[in-house]
Amino acid sequence: MVSGGEELRRIREQLGLTIRDVEAGSNRIAERYRDQSFAVSLSRLSDIEAKSVVPSIHKLYSLAVIYRRDFHELLMLYGINAENYASDLAIAGVNPKKSHRFSLFDRVPKLEMPVELDPAFDLAATTDIGRMVVRWGVVPLRMLSTLKSRKFIYGYIGAEDLTMYPLILPGSFIQIDESRNKVVHGKWRSEFERPIYFVETRQGFSCSWCELNGAQLTLRSHPLSSVQSRVLRLGSEAEVIGQVVGVAMRLDHWLQPEREQEE
């Protein structure tokens, strides 16, 4: 069974981060809060990953931020499932004798979102989305599950990942439909119609076009990209997580450091 520390190391390596990267990032978090409890030193991270030392809540928070993971997801690596609040409350069987404030579920996330749209809004026309909203309202995030028809997850294209450049730029956020995890064959009229897939490999994650020939999965890079296409064995070396169905990206952000150097 994989330990929490081993899983944290796997996550770090998939992101291409060194132990020194993590130490530097955690130090900046510690400086912000003026609390060294958030700092994760080289030796401490080594102990966490290799010796199954359980990190403190402050250090686990820093790791969650640096690894772009939900804090509760990292808690689960150590056997703590925050979704079990209600069932564990019943099992604990402790009934306070005095009236009290019940704050256990106070922190259910809420989202401000459009609750009424302009009926004259034309989906066929490009427009300012702010103008189509007649009324905004606060909705508990749990209620959004009633609107869910497909299971989406979200990915981030690394700053050095040029696999789908210039179609998808480094630093982009992508939405993935897990129900579309079968490679589709066909004749595409343009690169925009060709399905893009999110794939997990032994080296990490990849976002690319895919071609399947038997058990041989080809991760096809964009022809203008400098990244070479790869051929992996489906199942043992690669798993198709799903199809990319949405992209959010900045057109000017990822080249900013290079522009500053030129200036």
Q: What does the pLDDT read at residue 173? A: 87
SS3 87: helix
Distance of alpha carbon 244 from alpha carbon 248, whole angstroms:
11
Using one digit for the tens of pLDDT, what is the confidence trace for 128-181?
666 666 666 766 655 555 555 567 888 888 888 999 999 999 888 898 999 999
In the DSSP assignment, the letter for residue 193 is T
The CATH number of whichever domain residue 68 belongs to comes to 1.10.260.40
Mark whether 19 and 70 lie in a shared domain.
yes
Mean pLDDT value across residues 234-252: 91
Three-class secondary structure of residue 217 per DSSP: strand
Number of structural domains in the chain: 3
CATH code of the domain in which 162 resides: 2.10.109.10
Examine the fold and report which residue of 147, 168, 194 is the final residue of a domain before the chain moves on: 147
Reduced to 3 states (helix: H, G, I; strand: E, B; else coil), residue 83 is helix
pTM: 0.72
Sign of CA dihedral 232, 233, 235, 236: negative
Q: Which domain holds residue 9?
A: 4-82
69 lies in some domain:
yes
